[in-house]
Amino acid sequence: MSNLKKIELPPQGLKTLFGVQDQNIKYLETLLDISIGARGNEILLDGDAKDILTVEQILNDFSDLFDGGNQFSDKELRDAFKQIAEDRTYSLKDYFTKSRFNPSGKKQVTAKTANQRKYIDAILSNDLVFGIGPAGTGKSFLAVALAVNALFQKQVSRIILTRPAVEAGEKLGFLPGDLQDKVDPYLRPLYDALFDLVDGERVAKMLEKRIIEVAPLAFMRGRAQTLDSLLLTSDGWRKMGDIKIGDEVIGSDGKATEVVGVFPQGKKKVYRLTMTDGSSTVACAEHLWQVKTMEDKRRNKQPRVLETREMLGNFRRNHQYRYELPLLSAPVEFARKEILIEPYALGLLLGDGCISDKTSPAFCTADAELVSSMEFSLAGMNLHFRRKTEIDYVITNPLAGRGGNKFEPVRNPLTQSLRELNLAGTKSATKFVPEDYLYNSAEVRLAVLQGLLDTDGGPVTQKNRTCRIQYSTTSERLKDDVIFLVRSLGGVAYCRKRKAEGRKPGFASGREVPYRSDSYILEIRLPQYLEPFRLTRKARIYNENGGGCPTRFIKNIEYISEAETQCISVAALDSLYVTDDFILTHNTLADAFIILDEAQNTTSEQMKMFLTRIGFGSKTVVTGDITQIDLPRGQRSGLKEAQEILGNLEGIEFVRFTDKDVVRHKLVQLIVKAYENHTNERDNQEEQKRNS
């Protein structure tokens, strides 16, 4: 049944719509079951009712766009007609407003097929998109265009472009030239897309500053630490080389996070990074660090992620350090363990206690409040505090010498506990915090630290600065233990050493007392949510002058040597984990637009390594053609495996291109279709043979 419809357009609009020798309208007639004619300014539509509605919508959109001053080329209109014919929910307005963008002002990018449009929408809407299909369908070019657009709109801070260099076995050792010369042939399509979209000089500057990184997959993955680097777990420190998938390490929130990827990296050049608080760790040149600069903090911007080599020789500006590292946002959560002595009381004893084991334990202080606190904390041991002098108290068992079997001595429970902890017999220069207290709950660790600070520490005020904490000890091991406690709670501790030799003697009881041991002075800053003191007079000064403000900056980076390395990725949202000296680091690519091209030539291990590197705030596109796999025989394609494993996961989208999406020479589309038909025919024949 014939349906007739009349629509009116201005003469110039009619001329633009029909095109040279009416080619545009003739093309639209081949796509739909409809006849389109013109009589003056009127357009006559005749054909299927549904097709008439589609063309009517096209003409209405065209009229609105034309009246709005839009310009149209014949090719653009024909591309739009094709996409609308393939997807009737798509409109001409969508084509000229949504699916076209100009990333850098140099070249406008437009989806030329319905699948390309679906691909663009998928990338804009999802953090991980797979574009799978034959060559010439625009998978790589559109991904690079969207990456450039995201960079220039400041949605990401860097672009990572990578592809496996399978033809060279990912070793690239037999090609002439330096590294760049060796990898360029395999990365040329990505370079071509970049230079097509952005001015060459601008691309060169961004490549030099590593805002854009183009590298083979084998080189991109090498963000690693040495095998003897320490990683913090719920049970204590473990070497990087001993970490396996499924293990748990401590994240930036103090909680355990699962290791989801472990990747040996072989020998690499490694560097020691030393921080302003004396902490240090070793990592390779490509290892990633989340840092904030002064400008970032002033403008309230998110942290940036830099490689070790990007900060070499650049960690100071004027008199200030440039790169601030993050600290734990909450104390490390170790499992609670049973303890023999109440933790605050233990801290007091380590500070002002005499536990030589030659006599009953004693406590020396002029603060009556500390004596009361000690008595209260040890109440469960049923002890007696006997005052010996104005400042000396002997801690005894009140049952000693009161009847009973004279051949069975009555033990002092505090002495017994100190012996079990191997503390009995220690002196000022040999005291330490037992391991069961170091690797215990945050409440236990803080209580020990409060006891130590209430005795041998104190608040230090300074004009126009927040209050810091100073602590001193002559025991090197106790110094290390206090630093451990502070760092595990999210603070920082700076240490300096005062030698005993040459120091002016002290003065006590009317005589000079020479120093017998070197002393260690710690400058401590704890997070604001922690109270470092229980002693009233110290707590009042600290709170009145505002504590907190712990910071840690990168102080120095120096090359060490070559070493065996390994990298890991963790499940934490911010990708951070705790390494040596409670330093936070990670191996994932945050705030980046990452493109893995020619992914059909990745191995299963490479694909998993790549996908588990996706960091917070990043967008990732994986492209490939599973009909053109160049891997050695018997080796499974990581892209094919990813389709099977990830196909149903929410937040991941697969866009599949066909020969209809080829936008190169028309022969390419025919060639792709011919090969596809041949492959299907061969597969059917093999299937019939197996079934016969």
- CATH of residue 306's domain is 2.170.16.10
Give me 663's structure tokens. Answer: 């936008």
User: E-strand spans in 601-681?
Assistant: 619-624, 652-656
What is the model's pLDDT at position 335?
92
Selected residue with higher pLDDT from 492 and 178: 492
- Long-range CB contacts (< 8 A, 24+ apart) of 231-234? 231/568, 231/577, 231/578, 231/579, 232/332, 232/577, 232/578, 232/579, 232/582, 234/333, 234/334, 234/335
Both 303 and 414 in a single domain? no
- pLDDT class for 672, splitting at 50, 70, 90? low
Both 380 and 529 in a single domain? yes
Both 347 and 248 in a single domain? no
Mean pLDDT value of segment 139-153: 92
User: E-strand spans in 195-303?
Assistant: 212-216, 225-226, 230-233, 236-239, 248-250, 256-275, 280-284, 288-291
Both 383 and 511 in a single domain? yes
**Whole-angstrom distance, CA of residue 627 vs CA of residue 600:** 8
Contact 572, 252 (CB under 8 A): yes
Mean pLDDT value of segment 603-610: 84
Mean pLDDT value of segment 2-24: 75
Give me 51's structure tokens. Answer: 């097709």
Q: In this structure, is residue 338 part of a structural domain?
A: no
Both 174 and 261 in a single domain? no
Tally of CB atoms within 10 A around 286: 22
Selected residue with higher pLDDT from 219 and 251: 251
What is the model's pLDDT at position 143?
93
HSE (side-chain half, CA atoms, 13 Å) at 25: 21
In sequence order, the β-bridge partners of residue 637 are: 603
Q: Averaging pLDDT over each range in 12-21, 54-63, 310-319, 453-462, which range is the top one?
A: 453-462
Give me 580's structure tokens. Answer: 């040596």
Both 37 and 8 in a single domain? yes
> Of 273-287, 364-378, 628-642, which range is least confident?
628-642
Instruction: For residue 267, give Cα distances in angstroms to 201, 223, 479, 605.
Output: 35, 12, 35, 19
What is the model's pLDDT at position 175?
44
Q: In this structure, is residue 593 part of a structural domain?
A: no
**Whole-angstrom distance, CA of residue 421 vs CA of residue 271:** 39
> Of 374-378, 437-441, 684-688, which range is least confident?
684-688
Both 490 and 576 in a single domain? no
What is the model's pLDDT at position 220?
57
In sequence order, the β-bridge partners of residue 563 are: 268
Both 519 and 374 in a single domain? yes
Both 656 and 666 in a single domain? no
Would you give the DSSP letter of residue 453?
Answer: H
Say which residues have a Cβ less than 8 Å from residue 112's Cβ, sequence separation at least 6.
Answer: 79, 83, 138, 663
Instruction: For residue 233, give Cα distances in angstroms to 240, 277, 324, 569.
Output: 11, 22, 24, 15
**Whole-angstrom distance, CA of residue 430 vs CA of residue 550:** 29
What is the model's pLDDT at position 350?
97
The identity of residue 673, as a single letter, is K
Tally of CB atoms within 10 A around 516: 10
Beta strands 320-321 and 316-317 are: antiparallel
Mean pLDDT value of segment 614-642: 87
What is the model's pLDDT at position 222?
54
- CATH of residue 153's domain is 3.40.50.300
pLDDT at 221 over 60: no
Both 395 and 415 in a single domain? yes
Selected residue with higher pLDDT from 531 and 41: 531
Q: In this structure, is residue 335 part of a structural domain?
A: no
Radius of gyration of the chain from Cα atoms? 36
Mean pLDDT value of segment 164-169: 55
Number of structural domains the chain divides into: 5
On average, the pLDDT of the chain sits at 85
Q: In this structure, is residue 591 part of a structural domain?
A: no
Mean pLDDT value of segment 614-622: 83
Both 20 and 83 in a single domain? yes
pLDDT, one tens digit per residue, over 540-591 is 999 999 888 899 999 999 999 999 998 888 888 778 899 999 999 876 676 7
Q: In this structure, is residue 173 part of a structural domain?
A: yes
Question: Model-level pTM?
Answer: 0.71
pLDDT, one tens digit per residue, over 78-118 is 888 888 888 787 788 877 777 677 777 777 888 888 888 88
Selected residue with higher pLDDT from 22 and 663: 22
Contact 446, 430 (CB under 8 A): no
- pLDDT class for 402, splitting at 50, 70, 90? low
Tally of CB atoms within 10 A around 604: 16
- pLDDT class for 407, splitting at 50, 70, 90? low
- CATH of residue 16's domain is 3.30.1370.10
Range of the domain at 63: 1-98
Give me 407's structure tokens. Answer: 């051949």
pLDDT at 400 over 80: no
What is the model's pLDDT at position 3?
52
**Whole-angstrom distance, CA of residue 294 vs CA of residue 321:** 9
Q: In this structure, is residue 506 part of a structural domain?
A: yes
What is the model's pLDDT at position 173?
46
Give me 466's structure tokens. Answer: 């927040």
What is the model's pLDDT at position 22?
84
Mean pLDDT value of segment 634-645: 90
What is the model's pLDDT at position 172?
44
Mean pLDDT value of segment 520-525: 96
Both 358 and 441 in a single domain? yes
